[in-house]
Amino acid sequence: MSLIFILLLIISLSLVARVMIRIIGQQKCLSDEEIRNYMLGRLHGDDDAYHRVIGHLGNCEKCQQRMHDYKPSDHIEDHLINDKNDA
């Protein structure tokens, strides 16, 4: 009986630790690369980076403003390189 309790405790603690790490990771402001990848549609719903960007934007007005001010033409060379690679 105590073995089952210990196993459940270990599993619970590991799940709590994963959630805490995810929460702490979402508090860090987005990099220019993360904003660029999101705006150019390079992140997808099944990607952890996508969920981090979405979660962070829900809480950070600074990054919301950076996203609003983003101009794809600032990084046109990245867009052209990726289009060439996708072809």
The count of C-alpha atoms lying within 13 angstroms of the C-alpha of 34, restricted to the half-sphere facing its C-beta, is 19
pLDDT for 78 equals: 53
Residue 35's nearest CA partner among 5, 3, 75 is 75
pLDDT for 62 equals: 94
Average pLDDT over residues 19-33: 84
DSSP per position, 10-55: HHHHHHHHHHHHHHHHHHSPPPHHHHHHHHTT---TTSHHHHHHHH
Q: Which domain holds residue 33?
A: 2-86
| Residues 46-83: tens digit of each pLDDT | 888 898 899 889 889 999 999 888 876 655 555 455 54
Residues 52, 29: Cα–Cα separation, whole Å: 10
Q: How many domains does the chain have?
A: 1
